[in-house]
Structure formats: structure tokens, C-alpha cells
Amino acid sequence: MIRLLVILFTLLLAAPAGAHKLKVFASAEGTDIVGSAYFAGGDKAAGVPGRILGADGSLVAVFATAADGTFRQGVTARMDHIIAVESEDGHAARFTLPAAELPSSLPEGKAAAVSADTAALEAAVARQIRPLREQLDSYEERIRLHDLMGGIGTIFGLFGCWAWLQSRRRGP
Amino acid sequence: MAHIPDGVLSNPVLVAGGILAMAGVARGLRELEPVRVPKVAMLSAVMFVASLIHLPAGPASVHLLLNGMAGMVLGWAAFPALLAALLLQAVMFGFGGLLVLGVNTLNMAAPAVLAGLVFRRLWNPAQPRRAALAAALCSGGAVLLTGLMVAGSLAASGREFEAAARLVVLTHLPVMGIEAVFASAAIGLLARVKPEALA
């Protein structure tokens, strides 16, 4: 019995967070796409398989998120990239990384006339503001009390309308 | 998880789920007396809130479904109640999606209705203690069945059933436990003080 409980508990530990909504966030650091996958509310999504697609839908790379939900993948072309993650229990999320975020030294961009200084500066700035952007992105997902209250009110309103229509149809 | 997002299920599954959910909602609304509407609204609101509040369960975070309890109190009216709750969650928070609304409603409401039917079979107004026990059984079973139906919808769309089922059911074991305790307390109390609310 105890053994069974221990097995169950370890299986639970291995299972990823069962939150509602998977989210993925990515930004460019030099020629790498760096990002993280997490569940709405902030829990990290570890070991989730993902794909990086090109602007035309072609497969660029395949990856799996690390234990802290992050991933890093080098790319070779300057174009829009779509990062798609999908877990086995049916959560899925996408994020589009615009070409403009990737350094212009990559092919398919404008003329590669960027000095090493500019590239280093771009990389440094990208690294600095990444936590901020991640925070903003996850903040959008936070459920606030007034959202909850609004939802409850709407439900009562909907059923109130139904009751009113019904009572009119059936007569006084 | 009961909230399957858009873009995961295949079209035949979406259509089949939509049609079955529509039939369930139609039946629920037809049987709904205006005097029972506030009860439906209240349970709809309870489910709306319950499944937005995440509980830490060890390293995973899960949320209550409470569909079994809704089914025991509402019967077929659980369909419109869940449709309203899921619709608002999809529109306001992006949990689930509009195209999969039918499948999600069916996955949660069908076990709810079944729990209600089984509960009525087991319930005996003369034995309130037995009502609490039956409520625990039915609500736990409803959560389990919802998990299996979610895994089934994924499998019907070409996913591997076992992996999905194992993940969904395992993360919902604590939910089953919590809901069983919660429902047995709530329904047990109702059975003792206001048995007509369950009839």
C-alpha cells in the first residue's frame, strides 16, 4: 500500500503542471531564439516538445524545453519565425518572432553592413529587456478579481434573461 | 485538462462534440423550469470561479471542476450551466476556445449528467449519511470520466491515448479527492436540511 502511494506520488512529481493554458514567449539574442514556455499563472512548463517554423511554415528546428521551461535555438535566416509548443495532454501555444528582432547580419535581411559593436549592443539590450517583456506577457494572462466578478455577473444576467423570456412565453 | 484549446482537435471531433453538446443543451433548457433558473445560474457561476482558481497540488497546479456536484443538483440543466461558464472562460481569459466549446462542454457536462443519474439511483431521503457517501462517489467519478473523455477526444484526433490519459488522469487524482470531500459535505448538508433541492 505504502509502495503504491510512493509510486503514485513520484508519478505526480513527474507530471507537468495541470494548469489551463500553455504560453510560450521568445525573443532574439544575437542569432539565437531564446524563450520559455509556461502555464498561465507562471508555472514553468518543463520538457515540452516544440518546433520552430519559418514564415512559410517550413520546419526550421525541433527542441524540448529544459527543466525551467526555457529553450535556446540558433537560426540561420532573418525572417519571421513561429515558435509552436505542444504538450502531450493537449495544451498548445504559438508565438511569432518578427524578423525585425533578428540581427541584420543574417541572410535574407537588408545589406549586412552592421559593425560588430552594433551587434553586441543589440544582443546586450535584448538580454536586458527580456525579463521585462516576459513579465508583461505573463501579466496579460493574470486573472484579476474584477474579471471574476464580471464573469459571475454576466452568468447571472444570461440566466436572468432566459428566465424572463421563459416567463413571458408561458404567460403570467 | 478539461480546457482543450483551439487548434488541437481534428474537425470531425469538433463537429461531433458540437452536435452532441447542442443536443444536451437543448434537452437541459427544455426541462428547465423558470423557477429553477437561479439555481442553474448559481452553479454555473460557482463552476466558472472554481475552475479559475488554481490550487497547488504538490509541484503541479490544478483546479476544481465541480461538474459532478452540478450534475447532482441540476441534472440535464448542467449542460447550459457549463456552456455559459466555459463560454465566458474562453471569451474573457482564453481558457479553452470557441471552436472547441462544444467538445469541452460535452466532456464536462456528460459526466455531470451521468453523476446526477447515478446519484438519484443511490440516494434515499431516509438516509442522509448514505447521500454524502454517494455524492463523494459520483463527484469523484465525474472528474475521472471527464479526464478519460478529454484523453479520448485527443486520441480521436490522432494523439496517443495512453500518454494523454495518463497525464490527465494522474494530475486529476488530487482533484478527485478534494471534490469527493467537498461534494460529500455540500450534498450531505443539502440532503439533511433541504432535500427538495436535490429532487
Does residue A161 lie in a domain region?
A: yes
Does residue A45 lie in a domain region?
A: yes
In chain A, residues 122-161 whose CB comes closer than 8 Å to chain B: 141, 143, 147-148, 150-152, 154-156, 158-160
State which residues form the domain around B111: 11-197
How high is the pLDDT of residue B58? 52
Q: Which chain A residues have a beta carbon less than 8 Å from that of B29?
A: 162
How high is the pLDDT of residue A24? 85
Q: The domain that contains B180 carries what CATH number?
A: 1.10.1760.20
Mutation site, B9, B36, B52, B100, interface A, largest A CB count within 10 A: B52
State which residues form the domain around A168: 146-172
Strands lying side by side in the sheet with A92-97: A59-64, A49-53, A81-86, A92-97
Does residue B2 lie in a domain region?
A: no
How high is the pLDDT of residue B144? 92
pLDDT band at A82 (very low <50, low <70, confident <90, very high): confident
Residues A109 and A133 in one domain: yes
How high is the pLDDT of residue A20? 58
pLDDT, mean of residues B84-97: 87
- Greater confidence (B51 vs B189) lies with B189
Q: What is the dihedral of CA B45, B47, B49, B53, to 10 degrees?
A: 180
Average pLDDT, chain A: 75
Domain count, chain A: 2
Residues A24 and A41 in one domain: yes
Q: What residue has cell string 552594433?
A: A118
How far apart (Å, rounded) are the C-alpha atoms in residues B8 and B1? 13
Q: Give which of B161, B59, B44, B60 is closest to B108, Cα–Cα.
A: B44
Does residue B5 lie in a domain region?
A: no
> Which alpha helices (H) appear in chain B, and where do they start and end?
11-30, 37-50, 67-74, 78-93, 101-122, 128-156, 161-193
- Greater confidence (B8 vs B71) lies with B71
How high is the pLDDT of residue A18? 40
Does residue A48 lie in a domain region?
A: yes
Q: What is the pLDDT of residues A105-141, one digit of tens each?
A: 777 644 445 567 777 888 888 888 888 888 887 776 6
ipTM for the predicted complex: 0.73
